[in-house]
Structure 1
Amino acid sequence: MGDGVTDPARPARGADPSVIMPAGVLLDLLGVCAVVLDDRGRIVLWSPQAEDVFGYSAEEALGQYAASLLVSDKDHDLVNGLFAQVMATGTPWAGAFPVVRRDGTRRLVEFRNMRLEDDEGAVYALGMAADQSQLKELEAALALSDQLVSQSPVGLALLDHDLRYVLVNPALERINGRPASDHIGRHPRDLLTSLDVDEIESTLRRVLETGVPVMDRHVVGRTAAAPDEDHAWSVSYYRLEGANGQILGVANSVVDITERHRAAAEAERGRRRLALLAEASTRIGTTLEVEKTAQELADVLVPGLADIAAVDILDAALELRRGEEGEGPRRFRALGFASAYPNQVAAAADRIGSLAAYRAERLITRCATTGRPIMVTHTGPADLAHIARNPEAAQLLAEAGVHSYLAVPLIAHNQVLGVVDLVRARNPVAFDEDDLLLAGELAARTAIAVDNARWHQSVRTAAETLQRSLLPGPLPPLHGLDVACRYQPAQSSSQVGGDWYDVLPLDGGRTALVVGDVMGHGIDAAAAMGRLRTATQAYADLALHPAEILHRLDRTAFDLETHIATCVYAVYDPYRHVCRIANAGHMPPVLIPRGGPPRLVPLPSGAPLGVGGVHYSTTEIALGPGDRLVLYTDGLVETRGDPIDDRLEQLLRLLSEPQGSLDEVCTRLLEGLSGPGVADDVALLIAEVPVTDGTRDAA
């Protein structure tokens, strides 16, 4: 430093730093003072600390006899005798002695006395003194500090500037599973091999350099105290500094919070389980389709419970048959699969929609046979061989890191419908009893949805089969008219049943075109439709006007009591090129004139069939060569969210596009208006008057 004063915290210039170290603080804490007496007992040196101990300044003490200044009269002889002993024999003396301070108070002071001799032979007495009360306090503080460190349940350690341990208390010995002797002089990375020591030492260095403490950092891992079990600790790091500001090192405290961590983890796990159950209640069983329900279950299970999930339904359950008896193979249809990330398991899984006989030793087969869940906490090669469909698939499971497996049966009304199997690969935690309980709850809920869906699909199949059996077969030969027809069942199993179309050749080359819709769905609606269609065919043979046909159909529908229907009945005369139409509450037909824009045919709407006592009227329109007439049921244009006028306008736009064949137009309308997921069935009929050579020339 420029003023010649040496920084006490730094070695002198040119000094060996390995020998000269920064001063400590112990003497400052002790409050030691120095007093030197000549051979007659007079004070010749008085340190600044002496004023704190005895109360006299140097000016007041120097030159005074120590015995007269510092002790009472009755102790003079004792003090002089001790002084003479030290001076005569050179034997040091140590002990506590009462002194009288300048303010008259008496205080017990501990002395260390020894003889000194200078180079001229003069003899002196050096007295090192410290206030006994301060010493007692310091001894108590040191003892207390030692007990606090050694008996603290908190792990404590002190590391030097190089991050080597210099102090470790018993609590940290127990936490790390190593004695203090294994710590001293070593780095954390030498001992804490199962923890993220790079992060630990990086944090220690940052705290040592900046002085900014790091508090309550949570660390999870393993130490030698419990090498097979994860523990959690709250760790704090802080820099230690001496009284004069020198850096002593960095300390850390470690508190075992394993139980709290586990309780918090379990609470979080419970919260996630409740959330998963709540999610399942809204996502599983949204439709009455077995395939969709199976996939919904797989999607809910991943990644909340498993890395990969597959759902297989027994073929017997899909066919509404009781399962096969015995311990042999089972025929499954793979209907659901989900994976949290791309991996080899997808290639090992059975292809969605595939039907296969699973061998008896596969765990999924065993689960379906016994109706009991199977959990393999830690899978080995033999387990993977029983999980996969073949050795190649087992190898893919091993390469994907599958280490834990769980299979849970889908049971409804005491019948096993299928199995959901789960695996964990990237998730390092093995399945446990809580996972089994949650998977069982989700499987039970899904099984009810699957059971409902398979019965509804059975009803749907029966209704659709009846519906199709009641619809016309191949169209008969017609005179002067081309016709294309389509029937599209609703996607929902409960919506099939009431729509129909018919094309009936009549006398005189005429053709009756019929499209109707029985209100209601299911087998009853299909049966009612069949009766109305049969009645329509019978009345058509009577050569009645369309309005009269509808009047008689109204009475027939009225007799059905629980069913009403809408219907449009048209008769085309190829010789007059006219079409006579009557409407019973049905959607208006669309006329597409040759070379002109499509338009809705304005017809009196009439009342639906089955109301009873309703008057219907017949409207006659021209239908010449090249003209087209489109009849359809409301399922083509009605939706829940769109106004009917907008949907009819969309129908006209589609029919305004360049026309193809009748079949192409049918396809365009079904794809453009109803599409996948249609809520109602659709009957569609398009008739066209062909253009002959003669009419082409006339045009």
Structure 2
Amino acid sequence: MVAVQSWLHSPCPAIVVNAAGVVHSMNDAAKVLLPADIEPRWQHGDSVLISERSYAAHRVDHSSGEVTWWLLDDTDLRLERHRAELLTRMSTVLMTSLNPERCMRVVAELASTHLADDVLVIAPGTTDGHPVTRCVRGEAPTHELRRIDVEEVVGLSEALRGFPPVPSRWIDPAAAPGWLAHGATSIVVTPLPGHGVPAGALILMRRDRHFAEDEEAFARLFASRAGVAMSAAWLFTRQAAITERLTRDLLPPVLRRYDSVDLAGRYRAAQDTEQVGGDFYDVHERENGELFVVLGDVCGKGLDAAVQTGQVRTTVHALLPVVADHDQLLRSLNKAVLTTDRGRFITVVVATVKSCEEGLHVRLTSGGHPPALIVRANGEVRAAKTRGTLVGLLPEIVTTTDEVVLAPGDSCLLHTDGITEAVGGPLGDEEFGEERLLRALEECGGMPAEALVEHVHMLAAQWIGSGTHDDMAVVAITAPRRR
């Protein structure tokens, strides 16, 4: 009798079906939930939708041939499972963009599709205003930079500073400013927490019903994922801007045009995924009208080499006003490199260029660098007679200076060993080499500086193919043809 009474008064709906499949009894909970003439046609484990609630059907067989069907309410479990799956999908979509504006649009679209009728995503403000993205369900999001008074919306100022959200029941839609509410009946304001600092605020609005507590809790979970994504996008953008600014300062300069000297340069870092490396060149104008050209190669590759490259270029720039000749410059540079970084050395070649009646007078000095190549207009090619000690390796260095005169159409080519040591060719294992470069330059007599450096770089690139290579830099100093 106790077992019977327990079955009848159980809060879980139960139906007893005879061997013919006809319902002949049900407990009190089932009588409230189900019509008297119901015919159970579900299978064990099926989900049954009754009065907007979901029930899992569980079958218990009896020796008499009767079957008891227990209906277990799993609505909340299914809802939580659905929300967990939804959060996972949302997180995947959110992390697809590292562009801040695009990320804000994705957040607004997801929120308007799954959480609210009208959504605003507001990023922290600047002196120009707050970035604001708005999305109405079924419409495309809009983005603008807008000046807003965050104190006009209850909880918005706090959310933008990362404080906990204000419950929606505390926010009166009728008191919301015109730029925010469009016939809203319920408003949720929740922070978008980022990586240590707030990423913004999320405002959700509904027009036909209020937010339940569990819906507000789910909105906070979504906001935490969205905040991380937005914060990552802002961080990436800031880092990219910093990197671009620093990289621009480390790259060789764009060479300007001169009336009496034709100059051109080309640079390619060792890794095509990077923009900077250890090769460099610069051109400085001296007070006496001379041009001072320096080309060098810092030991190593990548960012570390690029950092020292920047230091070397700065040092040369600082030394030029106070040194009298190439030898003094290279000795001073040697001491500076030894002082700042004993783990690295550099090779460098310097050239002083000035106009003369014959064309250009060029003085060349090398500090452990491959000799400059003189390319005559008639195709004759020879190496300049410069030798010298590596810079930054020994306390004292020895250098040798050569002087050449470039007639109109003649060129002086400065290059790093990334050109001659480029590995490739038919089998992919042979260096381009100095001899191959000399033969190629025999066909370049009379070329303008721009065409000469482009041709050398093209030859090296073709030789390398898809293989790896060292940093490569080339500068051509050409005496313009007279008209």
Give the alignment's TM-score, normalised by structure 2.
0.55
Deviations 1:308-346 (A, max 9, x none): 998654344xxxxxxx8xxxxx82246x99x9xx9755x
1:544 partner amino acid: H
2:481 partner amino acid: T
Q: Percent identity?
A: 14
CA contact (8 A) 1:154 1:253 kept: yes
Distance 1:298 1:236, change over 3 A: farther
Aligned to 2:478: 689
Aligned to 1:314: 124
Matched, 1:408 2:191: yes
Q: What is the distance in 2 between the residues matched to 1:626 and 1:486?
A: 22
CA contact (8 A) 1:482 1:689 kept: yes
1:436 to 206, 220, 223: 220
Aligned to 1:233: 56
Aligned to 2:129: 331
Aligned to 2:338: 558
Aligned to 1:222: 50
Structural mapping, 1:463-478, within 5 Å: 467=249, 475=256, 477=258
Structural mapping, 1:99-498, within 5 Å: 154-156=14-16, 167=23, 169-171=25-27, 174=30, 177-180=33-36, 183=37, 215-223=43-51, 230-234=53-57, 254-259=69-74, 262-263=76-77, 266=80, 313-316=123-126, 331-333=129-131, 344-345=138-139, 347-350=140-143, 355-360=145-150, 361=152, 365-369=156-160, 371-374=162-165, 382=173, 407-410=190-193, 416=198, 418-419=200-201, 431-437=215-221, 439-440=223-224, 443=227, 467=249, 475=256, 477=258, 479-483=260-264
- The CA deviation at 1:554 is 0.8
2:141 partner amino acid: A
Aligned to 1:544: 326
Distance 1:296 1:382, change over 3 A: closer
Q: What is the distance in 2 between the residues matched to 1:568 and 1:581?
A: 11
CA contact (8 A) 2:57 2:72 kept: yes
2:129 partner amino acid: R
Q: What is the distance in 2 between the residues matched to 1:629 and 1:661?
A: 9
2:261 partner amino acid: G
Q: Give the unaligned 5+ runs of structure 2.
A: 423-427, 462-470
Distance 1:149 1:477, change over 3 A: closer
1:256 partner amino acid: L
1:418 partner amino acid: G
Aligned to 2:467: none
3-state secondary structure, aligned to 1:350: strand
CA contact (8 A) 1:372 1:409 kept: no
Give the aligned CA root-mean-square deviation in angstroms: 7.1
1:607 to 385, 390, 397: 390
Deviations 1:117-163 (A, max 9, x none): xxxxxxxxxxxxxxxxxxxxxxxxxxxxx999989963245899xxx
Distance 1:664 1:412, change over 3 A: farther
CA contact (8 A) 2:414 2:476 kept: yes
CA contact (8 A) 2:187 2:205 kept: yes
2:317 to 533, 537, 544: 533
Distance 1:486 1:333, change over 3 A: farther
Q: What is the distance in 2 between the residues matched to 1:684 and 1:167?
A: 90
Q: What is the distance in 2 between the residues matched to 1:645 and 1:604?
A: 29
CA contact (8 A) 2:121 2:201 kept: yes
1:371 partner amino acid: G
1:348 partner amino acid: P
1:551 partner amino acid: R
More helix by share: 1
Q: What is the distance in 2 between the residues matched to 1:407 and 1:215?
A: 43
Aligned to 1:75: none
Distance 1:411 1:567, change over 3 A: same
- The CA deviation at 1:491 is 13
Distance 1:593 1:312, change over 3 A: farther
Q: What is the distance in 1 between the residues matched to 2:431 and 2:111?
A: 42
CA contact (8 A) 2:18 2:24 kept: yes
Distance 1:311 1:513, change over 3 A: farther
Aligned to 1:62: none
Q: What is the distance in 2 between the residues matched to 1:613 and 1:253?
A: 99
3-state secondary structure, aligned to 2:46: strand
Aligned to 1:48: none
3-state secondary structure, aligned to 1:231: strand
Q: What is the distance in 2 between the residues matched to 1:150 and 1:577?
A: 111
- The CA deviation at 1:234 is 1.9
- The CA deviation at 1:503 is 1.5
CA contact (8 A) 2:260 2:479 kept: no
Deviations 1:463-516 (A, max 9, x none): 579x48x9989848463323468999x9999x9999864323569976331245
1:503 to 273, 279, 283: 283
1:314 partner amino acid: P
CA contact (8 A) 1:580 1:621 kept: yes
- The CA deviation at 1:543 is 3.7
Q: Give the unaligned 5+ runs of structure 1.
A: 1-145, 189-199, 205-213, 243-250, 286-290, 317-323, 325-329, 639-643, 674-681, 695-699
Structural mapping, 1:49-68, within 5 Å: none
Which one scores higher on RCO, CA 8 angstroms, separation ≥ 6?
A: 2
Give the alignment's TM-score, normalised by structure 1.
0.41
Q: What is the distance in 1 between the residues matched to 2:296 and 2:395?
A: 17
3-state secondary structure, aligned to 1:314: coil
Distance 1:503 1:424, change over 3 A: farther
Distance 1:272 1:584, change over 3 A: farther
- The CA deviation at 1:556 is 2.7
Q: What is the distance in 2 between the residues matched to 1:525 and 1:156?
A: 86
- The CA deviation at 1:362 is 5.8
- The CA deviation at 1:445 is 9.1
Aligned to 2:464: none
Structural mapping, 1:31-46, within 5 Å: none
Deviations 1:558-614 (A, max 9, x none): 234579563533325764778665555779989999899x9x999979635476434
2:25 partner amino acid: N
CA contact (8 A) 2:291 2:354 kept: yes
1:553 partner amino acid: L
- The CA deviation at 1:389 is 5.7
2:316 partner amino acid: L
- The CA deviation at 1:363 is 7.6
2:315 partner amino acid: R
Q: What is the distance in 2 between the residues matched to 1:168 and 1:686?
A: 99
CA contact (8 A) 2:262 2:448 kept: no
Q: What is the distance in 1 between the residues matched to 2:476 and 2:335?
A: 28
CA contact (8 A) 2:16 2:68 kept: yes
Q: What is the distance in 2 between the residues matched to 1:491 and 1:172?
A: 75
